Amino acid sequence: MNKNKRVPTSAELNILNVLWRIQPATVRTLHEHISESQKIGYTTVLKMLQIMHEKGLVTRDESTRAHIYSAAYSVEHTQSSLLSDIVNKAFGGSRFDLVMRALGDEKASTKEINEIRTLLDSLEKNNK
């Protein structure tokens, strides 16, 4: 399967965020949870899940009358896919440019800078 097809759209990500919290879930259960924060039709959720299943973003258990869906990938895996997609599309593959933009546009707190420094030190140590 094409790697880009595994990068969810915004609408698919909304469904995945609910699935990660409550999975496994039927379409009805997902619809009820999503409807708490946005207006969306049952058939829209169903169609989105069918598309997401075709793309390999969710798995579907068809052993019961009401199909049961689960996320095919973890939150971390999906975040990595989204980040890679953004780095490639918006920053020409440069992680440095991404970090500079992220830190340059918003004022990072001292705590955040210290956490980033600790992370960088750890990454550098692991690369030796």
Q: Which is nearest to 58 in space by CA: 124, 110, 6? A: 6
**Angle (deg, nearest 10), helices 10-22 and 42-55:** 90
pLDDT tens for 101-117 read: 888 766 778 898 889 88
pLDDT of res. 3: 47
Q: What is the pLDDT of residues 59-84, one digit of tens each?
A: 999 998 999 999 999 999 999 999 99
Mean pLDDT, the chain, whole residue set: 90
The pLDDT value given to residue 2: 45
Six-digit token pair at 120? 């960088």
Global pTM? 0.77
